[in-house]
Amino acid sequence: MLKKWVEENSDFLTGARIQKIQQPTRRDFVFAIRNNGETRKLYININPQYYHVCFMSKENEAKRLIEIPQKPPMFCMLLRKYLENAVIARVNQPQYERILEFYIETYNELSEKIYLCLAIELMGKHSNVILYNYDTNIILGCAHNVGVEKSREREMAGGLPYVYPSGRPAKWYEGQNIDEIDDYYSQAIYEDKIKKIKSACVQLVNRKLKKDAASLKKMQAGKDKNYDKYRLYGDLIMANLYNNKDYSKSIKLFDYENNKEITLELDETKTLKDNANKFYKLYNKGKIAQEKIDELSTFLNENIRYYEQILYSLELASEMDGLLEIKSEIEPEKVQKKLEKTILEPIEIEGCKVYVGKNNRQNDLIVSKLSRDEDLWFHTKDCAGSHVLLKCENPSDNMILECAKLAKKYSKGSLSSKVGVIYTKRKYLKKPPKANLGYVTYKNEREIIL
């Protein structure tokens, strides 16, 4: 395949000028090369999974999510020093080898013409990019150095002589159609990046979900469910102040709420009234604690539902734009790509527009921007899923049913035999202050069981 690629592109490369060199990561490079009034981007990848070279289209450049670091790596600086604005004199491939060689005319610090060779070795885990002086055969630098601990036969580092790998094959091996290289590898890289970003997001959300679930469980286990009894004890003591003596160790009382006689242990250094006040204080303390627990429990439950919604959105995400919207929601300061404004395309049912949100940003867009008071909003009941919005003045029963089916389809309950789908008018939705993205409360809802 490399042989075919060299044969097809040698006319363009020979005599071409290297205008710009970029190194997005330690394993990939982008060279802007110009010849005969045309500029192409040469892409070099030495990742063990995706090692290849190709001329990269704009569409596939976007798929690779290439981002140029503010501070270029040292090897990139070395390549720029020697190769930018230099001319490629000759392109070569050693017979039967997976090595692409660019022989380059340039000048040293003394303005003397020198000849360099940029060797691109496409050899699986041993893939590398090496710049060496063709006249002296001494390596100037490598994309990654190879020490004696990795290879006793072939060390690679600045200052060492460049030698070809041993064990050269005895024949050519047929490859695929070279036109497919850019498309094939850009798609493979695109899918791999989606998989890695999705996996990292799932791990992060699961950690947050487990943390809040554990906090909720611990909180529920530690709360005082019997604090109301202290109010009763205080009331019983106050009702019997004149029938008993102060400064007693205990007191016998009739519990009229539970219809039985009880004995309460008292602080004998205090009066009966002070003991009653002590029980009232315990009651008030328990009541306040319970209110705080209930408030925090509500907050944690909302967070748990929110994280479950994000996990569902991640499960649903198949395109990078939607995935980055979710990533920006959970890691706003670490997003690798500047997000464009969220755009949601509608589908049509009987001539009316229907919007389906695939993540919380899109769900929030539906509620905040796209909906009007009389539009119908659909969502699965007690189940993570998409917000579905129907914009129609007089929707038929069939349209409502189809929208309910969409709400079930794009939910965690899509495979369940019975799922409740609620719907109501947009004017009955409310976004609580400081609520998580996409979270709403509703009223006046109806339910369809599907």
Q: Which two tokens stand for residue 414?
A: 């899509």
At 337 the pLDDT is: 46
**What is the chain's pLDDT, residue by residue, as a tens digit (450 residues)?**
899 999 999 999 999 999 999 999 999 999 999 999 999 999 999 999 999 999 999 999 999 989 899 999 999 999 999 999 999 999 999 988 999 999 999 887 788 888 999 999 999 999 999 999 999 999 999 999 998 877 777 899 999 999 998 877 777 776 666 788 899 899 999 999 999 999 999 999 999 999 999 988 888 776 666 788 889 999 999 988 888 888 989 999 888 888 899 999 999 999 999 999 999 999 998 888 888 888 888 888 888 989 999 999 999 888 888 888 888 888 765 544 445 567 788 999 999 999 999 899 899 999 999 999 999 999 999 889 999 999 998 999 999 999 999 999 999 999 899 999 999 999 999 988 888 888 899 999 999 999
Helix axes 181-222, 272-316, angle to 10 degrees: 170
Overall pTM surpassing 0.85 (yes/no):
no
DSSP bridge pairs for 349: 352
Domain edges within the chain: 2-167, 228-297, 341-449
SS3 for 290? helix
At 332 the pLDDT is: 62
At 445 the pLDDT is: 95
Each residue of 252-284: pLDDT tens digit?
Answer: 988 888 889 999 999 999 999 999 999 999 999
- Type of residue numbered 373: D
- Type of residue numbered 310: I
Phi-psi map region of 434: left, alpha, beta (phi>0 left; psi -120 to 50 alpha): left
For the chain, give the number of residues: 450
pLDDT, the chain, mean: 90
Asked if 307 and 209 count as a contact pair (C-beta separation under 8 A), the reply is yes
- Type of residue numbered 395: P
At 81 the pLDDT is: 94
From residue 347, give the alpha-carbon distance in Å to each of 269, 277, 423: 77, 66, 18
d(CA 363, CA 385): 10
Asked if 286 and 294 count as a contact pair (C-beta separation under 8 A), the reply is no
At 242 the pLDDT is: 83
CATH for 2-167?
Answer: 2.30.310.10
Each residue of 279-299: pLDDT tens digit?
Answer: 999 999 888 888 888 888 888
What CA dihedral angle connects 241, 242, 248 and 254, to 10 degrees?
A: -60
| H-assigned helices in 251-372 | 272-316, 320-330, 360-365
At 355 the pLDDT is: 96
